[in-house]
Structure 1
């Protein structure tokens, strides 16, 4: 069974990331490349991970005019990534353009949308002139994403059960802000343990520092995989 764990490679350099993944197996985890590492290491690094057999989630959260986002998705697909994302707040026209772009490339890459960042709470949303609670805004953007024919969303595990009931069993729920029991919460506000996320109907979880900064990453990976079964 393929692992439902996505490790966030939040490293400042390619060398550090490659050193970290050296003992890892593509069967035990998937890998996420975000802004910091992508800017530092470039697209060739993403290809390198794909060539090693890893499913790669390119987490660049595209958010621009529809044509620009569509072109970016085509470029991401050419790297062989397993999954990529856009911001749902870019609107339906943008998301539809992104989906169509992937279909034109005949890519099997999954396309998901970010709803509300897990670092955002009600006060921060209000600061952006969004009067809704995080839960209501997530629900609204999730419905818009499904209507745009995307594969799923990035959301907090705390909204997963509610979203699963609304969006059905096939829609993917990918959740950051996951912290193994006993680990530090860090800058994430809406968090859950892997076991709690699994019980909430989450498809894939994203875990970074509790693994990458652990003295024994392989042990943490094994425990999380057990918790997700």
Structure 2
């Protein structure tokens, strides 16, 4: 995989106009974009279709979790949009429904293991008995058995998942912060080079690119850092 194809830029912006300007600014430096809740609710899902039609690849980050019938039909509708990836919280029941809803389409399903803003203390507060590491590995094994295509996981867990599931799942990591960047609300973060070196296939980067003084240059630096450890 080319280094540039490993970078997914998160369009975590408040309007379609802002997103369109960012895509224009980034130009051919970026070919893969994530559209999450913020932009979906402010601009609607039509923008995702427009990006696909323009030749860009789209990761629609919906983090689905509902009763099986609802998840299956939601995934079926997403598959018709032509996007590359969508996300489902990695609960076995929801993942099974998503695989059924995907059918024979080319949509790839990613299980969200544990959000990168959470740590062991947060899981205890939520009521989980296990820590982040144990829960991530359990959900990774379940995702592989169920037939998911990949996982969203923090760069901290990538190496352990690779050791237990091999290449059965594509590993996509948010929580990416270039050296010296503010981690913000990310509690389990790593640099681009570290994440890829540990086994990440693709990196999702939002704030370090879209909030940079020169977003295109920021994206190019990340691509160059990825290339430095993959060539």
User: What's the TM-score, normalizing by structure 2?
Assistant: 0.94
2:213 to 212, 215, 226: 215
User: Is residue 75–residue 101 contact of structure 2 (8 Å, CA) maintained in 1?
Assistant: yes
User: Matches of 2:218 and 2:197 in 1, distance apart?
Assistant: 19
Q: What is residue 86 of structure 2 aligned with on the other side?
A: 84
Q: Is 1:93 the equivalent of 2:90?
A: no
Q: Is 1:163 the equivalent of 2:161?
A: yes
List runs of 5+ in structure 2 lacking aligned partners: none
Query: Which residues of 2 match residues 124-203 of structure 1 at below 5 A?
Result: 124-203=122-201
Pairwise CA distance, 1:81: 0.5
Q: Is 1:28 the equivalent of 2:14?
A: no
Q: Matched residue of 2:179: which SS?
A: coil
User: Matches of 1:198 and 1:65 in 2, distance apart?
Assistant: 35
User: Is residue 122–residue 134 contact of structure 1 (8 Å, CA) maintained in 2?
Assistant: yes
User: Matches of 2:22 and 2:29 in 1, distance apart?
Assistant: 16
Query: Which residues of 2 match residues 48-127 of structure 1 at below 5 A?
Result: 48-89=50-91, 92-103=92-103, 106-127=104-125
1:8 to 7, 10, 28: 10
User: Matches of 1:225 and 1:3 in 2, distance apart?
Assistant: 9
Pairwise CA distance, 1:93: 3.0
CA gap 1:212/1:201 in 2 versus in 1, 3 angstroms: same
Moved over 6 A (4+): none
User: Matches of 1:47 and 1:225 in 2, distance apart?
Assistant: 25
User: Matches of 2:27 and 2:144 in 1, distance apart?
Assistant: 32
User: Matches of 1:192 and 1:32 in 2, distance apart?
Assistant: 19
User: Matches of 1:27 and 1:11 in 2, distance apart?
Assistant: 19
User: Matches of 1:171 and 1:95 in 2, distance apart?
Assistant: 14
User: Matches of 2:70 and 2:187 in 1, distance apart?
Assistant: 32
User: Matches of 2:170 and 2:125 in 1, distance apart?
Assistant: 29
Question: Cα deviation per residue 1:160-199 (whole Å; 9 max; x = unaligned)?
Answer: 0010011112411111000011111110000000000010
Q: What RMSD over aligned residues (CA atoms) do the two structures have, in Å?
A: 1.2
User: Is residue 26–residue 53 contact of structure 1 (8 Å, CA) maintained in 2?
Assistant: no
Q: Matched residue of 2:5: which SS?
A: coil
